[in-house]
Structure formats: C-alpha cells, structure tokens
Amino acid sequence: MTAKEERAIKLEIHRMNRAQTEMIARNAALEAECARLRGALRHESEKHAAMGEAVLQQCSAYQRAERELVETMQRDREAMMKQMQQDAAAQRKDNTDELIAMKRALDAHYAELIDSKGKELDAARREFEKECEQRLTAERKERAEREQDQLLQFLARMEEANRVKVEIAQQLEDANQKLAQGMRERAELLEIADRRFEEYVKTHTANLFKTIAFSEISHAVAANYAQTQLIYNLDFRDKRVLIFSHYSKADEVESYNYLTLERLDERFDLIIVLTNCPNRWDLPGPNYNKYHLLSYNFKSDFRNYGVFIMQTARALIRASQVCLMNDSFVVVDVDAFGRCMKRLFESTAAAAAAADFAGITSSHEGVYHLQSYFTVYNGRAVNAMVEYFKLRGLPINHQAAISDYELGMTAHLVQQGLAPFAMVSNQEMPFPLNTTYCKWSAVLQQTGIVKRQHFLKQYPARFSMTDLSIALIADKFSQNAHFIHFLKYHGIQLD
C-alpha cells in the first residue's frame, strides 16, 4: 500500500470518528430532552388526575342533591294529589246536593205545567169532537142525499143498458147466424176448390209428358209426381215437417247445406228438400223414410214452397209443425246455433212458449215481419199458413215475393190472432234496417249464423262485413270444417 493511500485511509477514519463523536453528543442531547419531556408529561398527568378526582366528587354531590330533590317533589305531589281528591269529593257532594234541589224544583214546575196544559187540551179536544160530530152529521146527510140521487141515475142507466144489451144480443145472434152460415159456405167452397184442384192434378198430370212445351210448374209436378204420391201415402198427421228450398247455379250441393240439415235432423220427422239438382245430393247415412228430394227449379223460395204446399195442402194441414227454410245462411258457430234451435223448439220461456209461429230474426223495416229464410209454424198456425199460400198463389216476381210473403204473411197471421216470436230483432234501432246485415254480429253471437250474402259481398258496402271481420271469424271458428270449406269454395281469402 502506498503512503498516499494510507494517508487517505487515516483521514477517512478520522472523519468517521469525528462524525461518530458528533452523533453521540446529539444522542445525549436527545436523551436529555426526552427525559425533560417525560417529567413534564408526568406532571401534567398528575395534575389532570387531581382535577378528575375533584370533578367526580362534585358529581357525587350533585347526584345526592338531585335524589333529595326528587324525593321532596314526590312527597309534595302525593300530598297535593291527596288534597285534590279531598277537594273533588267535597265539590261533587256540593254539586250533587245542588242538582237534587234543582231537579225537585223543576219536577214540581213541570208537573204544574203539564196539569195545566192537560186541562186545556181536554177542553180543546171536547170542543173539536163536538165540531167534528156536527160536521159528520151534516156530511152524512149530504152524502146520503147524493148517493140516493146517484142510485136513481144508476138504476135509470142500468135500465137503458139492459134495453141496449137485449138489442145488441139480438144483433149478435143475427150476426152469429150469418157468420156461421158464411163459414159453412166458405168451408164448402174451400172443400169444393180442394177437390177440384186434386181432380185437376190427377186429370192433367198423366198428359204432361206428352206436351211439347212444359211450363215450370207443370214440369215440377210431373217430375215429382211419383215422389209426391209417396209423400201423400206417408201422411203428415202429427208430424214435424221441414221444407228446405235449395238452388245452385253450378248444379252442386255445398258442404254447409249438409251441416244445416245435420243440425236439424233430430227435430223433424220428415225433411223435404226442394232442389234444382236432386241427383247431386249425397246425404251421409240418409233415412229415406225421412228425407225426400224433389226436383224444383223455380228460382224462388216462395214459388217452391207454394207449389209443394198446394200439391200437399190436404195432408199438410194435419202436421203438428212445419218449418220453411232456405239455403241463404251459413251455420258458423255450431254451439250457438244449437242453443238457438233449443230455445226456438224447446223453450219454456213465456214469449217463446206462447208463440204460434217463430223465426230466427225479425225486422221492423217497412212493417214488422219474421225474416223468411227460417220460419216455424206450430199448431193452428200451420193451417193459417197453408190457407195463406192458397189465398195468395205463387208470386210472379221477386218484389211480389217480398210484399206478399216476406212482409205480408206475418201481418196476416197476426191479424188472425196468432203470436210471433224471434230470437233477434231490430226494434231498438231508430231507423230499422234489415236485421241480418245491419246486426250481423249480434245475430252471429245469439244464433250462430251469418247470411252468406255477407261473405259473397252482395250487401251494400256500408253494411257488409269487412275482410278483416271475415278473417277473424274464420280464425275463431276454424274447427267448423263445413264453414271453412264454404269460404274456400267461393275463393274467399283467409289471411
């Protein structure tokens, strides 16, 4: 190691020794300061401990004083309560004595007052009774005189009425004799007319096939002669008869027609189908003693009904019930239709049970009438309906069918004293329009049917069902396969 390096090391050692010395001196100073601070802290602690002891002694004194004060207040309150109870008892006694004295005074006063008023009322009552007795005596005398005069007048009127009654009875007797004679003559004339009509049918039917130009009626009579003779032999006595008028431009039978007859099958003993395409019918499991298909092509329901009724009138009037129905409606809600038919045919409700003839809907458009697409005639209404067809004959056009039968027959039967009934009416409408197209929703809800003209857009646009309504109904009653088939058959879009 060189001298230079050695000197450098010594210098460094000297410097470190000096720094150590300074550090030791500084540590000693710090120790002295800490000792001083510990002494000051100990002094302060002792001072604060003394002060805390003084505060605790003062608090104890305050607590003793507070307990003494509470005890004093409790004693004072108990004494005060006892004094108050004594004062209250004394006051109650004084008040009770005072009230008893007042009550005795009031009782005496009111007793005197009541006695005085009682005497006054007795005097007034006696005076009033005396006055009433005088008035009643005068009124009885006046009433007796008046009743005597009225009795004399009544006896005079009775004598006059008896005289008039004898005259009216004589007039009624004369009128009854004339009426009975007229009815006998009318019955004889109707019997003669029936016999002549039957003789005409029997005489001329055999020659119809030899005629070159056939009229529509003679053609129908000839075409159905054998079947009609079978119906004559079956007889209608006490039978329920459905006469169904059907017409198809396409010479086809649609599925919904089968559904309609299926839902009515159990309600009738005989079902007569008047159709322009009898060979197109394929009834599922038909009872040929019940179903009878006749070839009719008059393009008018009432002409169809009229020809058949006139051919079978003598037998038909023995039926217990006759229903005239056409194919212009579709059974959409099968359950609702069943409930509707149950009410029409089985209801014990007053209006339905008392009805002589009924329909699904009625209308006040024009005049009140049952709408003719479905009408049922019971009991004596059957005879009245047959007589009306014989009286009016066959309508020459559509307007005559409406005026004579759609509107006229209901009014005629009502005039005969027969009662109508319908499931749905438009009576509440201020300006009544056709029930089946203005109230189609109510008709569907209550009867389960919709007129097919709605689906075919044959009603005025403002009354027709919208495409949306048709789609919603088709979706709701999609389980009715016959109804869906009807829509698809006529190309009605369901989406």
The answer as to whether 279 is a domain residue is yes
pLDDT tens-place string over residues 3-20: 777 788 878 788 888 888
Tokens of 193: 């007319």
Mean pLDDT of the chain: 83
Tokens of 50: 């003394």
Residue of higher predicted confidence among 490 and 224:
490
Confidence bin at 212 (pLDDT 50/70/90): very low
The pLDDT of residue 333 is 97
**The domain that contains 470 carries what CATH number?**
3.90.550
- Count Cβ atoms below 10 Å from residue 302 Cβ, excluding itself: 25
| DSSP run (H or E) holding 245 | strand 240-246
Taking the C-alpha atoms of residue 144 and residue 146, their distance in angstroms, rounded to an integer, is 5
Question: How far lies 161's CA from each of 1, 55, 392, in Å?
Answer: 179, 129, 44
The pLDDT of residue 214 is 39
Which range of residues forms the domain containing residue 314? 206-489
The answer as to whether 2 is a domain residue is no
Question: How far lies 26's CA from each of 29, 35, 73, 280, 338, in Å?
Answer: 5, 14, 69, 135, 120
Confidence bin at 205 (pLDDT 50/70/90): very low
The answer as to whether 139 is a domain residue is no
Tokens of 382: 């059957």
Q: What percent of the chain has pLDDT over 70?
A: 86
Task: State mean pLDDT over 408-428.
Answer: 93
Residue given tokens 């005969």 in the structure block:
416
pLDDT tens-place string over residues 365-376: 889 999 999 999
426 and 365 Cβ atoms separated by less than 8 Å = yes
The answer as to whether 68 is a domain residue is no
The answer as to whether 106 is a domain residue is no
Point out the least confidently predicted range of 189-193, 208-212, 248-252, 380-384. 208-212
The answer as to whether 296 is a domain residue is yes
Task: State mean pLDDT over 144-166.
Answer: 71
Nearest to 369 by CA among 422, 302, 330, 443: 422
pLDDT over 50 at 209, yes or no: no
pLDDT tens-place string over residues 450-473: 999 999 988 887 777 888 899 999
Into how many domains does the chain fold? 1
The pLDDT of residue 227 is 67
The answer as to whether 131 is a domain residue is no
pLDDT over 60 at 197, yes or no: no
pLDDT tens-place string over residues 293-314: 998 888 889 999 998 998 889 8
The answer as to whether 374 is a domain residue is yes
